[in-house]
Structure formats: structure tokens, C-alpha cells
């Protein structure tokens, strides 16, 4: 199963806000929803999906296992808890959210449990998030590259993460970009805005199209229906080689997410 190119992120959205965001997104045509145990919104996402009336088989739902549930015998029960909250009998993609802090639980321990969850039909695909090259190598050693659908990483024009991307590609592991708009920072970028003007598009559409054109999946979030509709139009935008080269030149290693105690030694 390939990871869809475009979906809805739900990071930092809770309560009625996330219910409205998911329902609006599904209403305007989104079919991919990305959540996580630590977002504490799985139940609301499940409620929104149920109330939307969209058939489960038309959807692609991703969640992520939190670091507290990595120890032997804990991952699958925590995944079943997520399934109950999401009101579904399976996920389409289940990710390890962050590597285990200080390698408290070895990569092989949680990856093998995740593969077992796949074998049990609790998830159709498995993958990782925030994994460095060294950590990907450990995950590959544990379950095989063919079982790792994606590595979801911070990736935007100011942090293009090329070393990680190159290694993942060499192993056939897809890349999902999170924070593709760099918390909105790129929306003010003059280069991106010039490209947007040329295409009669928005800066967000240009940035999302850039990532998808490089072969990455994107999961932008929004609480505004108009922005949800506008972002979706990125799927119809094709950038020129010159546009792509100009955005490639914006990389400056500007990392926005590196939580103390969780973040690995970045490449």
C-alpha cells in the first residue's frame, strides 16, 4: 500500500476544534487523516469520522504510538485502545512517533511488536517518524525495509533534510513531510510568494505542491474551511524546474521541532 500524497494533520487540535476541522475536511474532499496518541484527540477524530457519514473503506487513517507504550507487551494493547477511540477495527498506517528516549526500549523491541500488529490485521501498514539514518538502519534490521512504509519527518523549504531523504529513498522508504509550511514561516517568503504570483496560487499551495512534486506526502492542518479547500488545490498545481530550483535554494537547516528528552542526534 502506498501512502497517499495529501492528507489532513490534526496536531495541536483538540475538542470541538478538531471535530470541526475533520468534518470540514471530509466534506470538501479529504480522505486521509493523520493523528497520534499524544495529540489526545483520537476520540474526537473518531467521532468526526462517524458523524461525517464517509465510508471507512474510503478513508486512510494514520495514528502514532507514543513512547510510553514501547515496552514488550504494551504496544498492541495501546494500539487497540487507539482503535477503540477512533471507532475502527484497523488503521491504514501506524507509526512509531519518536524513537525511545535514551534508547530505553531498543528499536527492535517496538518494531517487532508493530510488525506483529500488522500481521494481526490491526494496521495495514507500519512506519516510523522522526527517525535518523542510524535509527532507520536499526528498524530495517528488525523488520526489513519492505515493512517500513514511511518515515514522517519535519521537512519544509527551510529544512529539506536531504541526507535522511536520500537514505530512505535508497531503501525504498517513502517520506512524509510534517510542518511543510514551517508553522507558517514560509508563507511570508518572498521567493515562494513570487512563484505563487506567477501561478495565480497561494504560498501554501506552492509549498505543498513543491513537497508533493519531490515525491513526499504532506499533511497540512487548518481550522478554517476556506484554507482546507485552498490547500487541497495544491494537488492540481505543477511547478516548473526553475520554481523547484528556487525553493531548493531556500534550505538553511532551520529545524523547528527538537523536543528535549525526545529528539535523537539529528543527521
Catalytic residues: 39
| CA atoms of 222 and 200, how far apart (whole Å) | 21
Which residue has 523491541 as its cell numbers? 109
Q: Extract the annotated binding site.
A: 97
Q: Extract the annotated binding site for substrate.
A: 97
What torsion, rounded to 10 degrees, do the Cα atoms 95, 4, 211, 29 define?
-120
Cα 103-106-109 angle, rounded to 5 deg? 150
- Crossing angle of helices 75-86 and 42-52, in 10° steps, is 40
| CA atoms of 74 and 105, how far apart (whole Å) | 11
Burial tier of 58 (Cβ tally within 10 Å: 0-12, 13-18, 19+) = exposed
| CA atoms of 80 and 211, how far apart (whole Å) | 32
Amino acid at each position: 500500500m502506498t501512502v497517499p500524497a495529501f492528507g489532513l494533520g490534526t496536531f495541536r487540535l483538540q475538542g470541538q476544534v478538531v471535530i470541526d476541522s475533520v468534518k470540514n475536511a471530509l466534506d470538501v474532499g479529504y480522505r486521509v487523516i493523520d493523528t497520534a496518541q499524544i495529540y489526545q484527540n483520537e476520540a474526537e477524530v473518531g467521532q468526526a469520522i462517524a458523524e461525517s457519514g464517509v465510508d471507512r473503506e474510503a478513508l486512510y487513517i494514520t495514528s502514532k504510538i507514543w513512547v510510553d507504550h514501547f515496552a514488550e507487551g504494551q504496544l498492541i494493547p495501546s494500539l487497540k485502545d487507539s482503535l477503540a477511540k477512533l471507532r475502527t477495527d484497523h488503521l491504514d498506517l501506524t507509526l512509531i512517533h519518536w524513537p525511545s528516549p535514551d534508547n530505553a526500549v531498543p528499536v527492535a523491541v517496538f518494531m517487532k511488536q508493530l510488525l506483529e500488529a500488522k500481521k494481526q490485521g490491526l494496521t495495514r501498514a507500519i512506519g516510523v517518524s522522526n527517525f535518523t539514518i542510524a535509527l532507520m538502519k536499526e528498524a530495517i534490521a528488525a523488520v526489513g525495509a519492505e515493512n517500513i512504509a514511511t518515515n514522517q519527518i519535519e521537512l519544509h523549504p527551510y529544512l529539506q533534510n536531504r541526507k535522511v531523504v536520500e537514505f530512505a529513498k535508497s531503501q525504498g522508504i517513502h517520506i512524509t513531510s510534517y510542518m511543510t509550511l514551517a508553522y507558517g514561516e514560509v508563507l511570508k517568503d518572498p521567493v515562494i510568494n513570487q512563484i505563487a504570483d506567477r501561478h495565480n496560487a497561494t504560498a501554501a499551495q506552492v509549498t505543498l505542491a513543491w513537497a508533493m512534486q519531490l515525491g513526499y506526502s504532506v499533511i497540512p492542518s487548518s481550522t478554517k474551511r476556506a484554507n482546507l479547500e485552498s490547500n487541497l488545490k495544491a494537488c492540481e498545481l505543477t511547478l516548473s524546474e526553475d520554481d523547484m530550483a528556487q525553493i531548493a535554494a531556500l534550505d538553511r537547516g532551520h529545524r523547528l521541532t527538537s523536543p528535549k528528552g525526545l529528539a535523537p542526534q539529528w543527521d
